[in-house]
A and B are shown apart, each in its own frame.
Chain A
């Protein structure tokens, strides 16, 4: 159990467009989900904590108007990268909190041209 999915797995978009990434907990409910960004050969950088039914908590330096997070249900959180630019290209990973543990999704590779 504890499976987390992400969609899409890979997306290429033009600069200035918005991209939505979905994170779903498939076999459990998650009040809290997390969004991370990972640069090549680096650790996980927490962007925000997504709480079902309330506003997300963003880490320092992360623009909340740029990275919109919605956690409308106990199994779905979405991250929308608005007006994407090449510097937003990265690997985005979500995780869902279950018990003491975080379970990660497979990640979404975003390339902004």
Chain B
């Protein structure tokens, strides 16, 4: 089955700096890669996603890149703000099945 690895597990950045979270996957059949943000005590919220036929996608301060050959994808947050502090999960999907990374706890220091 699919195996998704996520790094780092914790990340601290100064407000205004960029944050990068990386994930790798093992199943070349995976074709959809969403990213979720989970705030304390809440359910994960979809923040951005990318499909396998696209190499990069951007939405304001958030961007995701995908390297199908290397089987890795990354989340980039620029100009970080304290409200970006949360746990971020990547996922890889082959269709109905979703495989989640272990999460990255991001802390943005004011």
Interface contact B43-A97, CB-CB below 8 Å: no
Number of interface residues of A (CB under 8 A): 22
Residue-by-residue, is A74-113 near B (CB-CB < 8 Å gives 1, otherwise 0)? 0000000000000000000101010011111111010000
Q: Chain B residues near A44 (CB, 8 Å)?
A: 44, 89, 100
Q: How far is the CA of A32 from the CA of B34 in the complex (A)?
A: 18
Tell whether B20 is near chain A: CB-to-CB under 8 Å: no
Interface residues of A in 30-51 (CB under 8 A from B): 32, 34, 41-44, 46, 49
* Inter-chain contact total with CB atoms closer than 8 Å: 46
Tell whether B96 is near chain A: CB-to-CB under 8 Å: yes
Interface contact A43-B42, CB-CB below 8 Å: no
Chain B contact residues, majority secondary structure:
strand
Residue of B nearest to A106 (CB): B43
Q: Chain B residues near A104 (CB, 8 Å)?
A: 36, 43-46
Number of interface residues of B (CB under 8 A): 21
Interface residues of A in 12-62 (CB under 8 A from B): 32, 34, 41-44, 46, 49
Interface residues of B in 19-66 (CB under 8 A from A): 32, 34, 36, 41-46, 49, 51
Interface contact A109-B96, CB-CB below 8 Å: no
Question: Could you write out 17 A-B pairs with CB less than 8 Å apart?
Answer: A6-B43, A34-B98, A42-B103, A43-B102, A44-B89, A44-B100, A93-B44, A95-B43, A97-B96, A100-B32, A100-B93, A101-B46, A101-B49, A102-B34, A104-B46, A107-B42, A109-B41
- A residues within 8 Å of B by Cβ? 4, 6, 32, 34, 41-44, 46, 49, 93, 95, 97, 100-107, 109
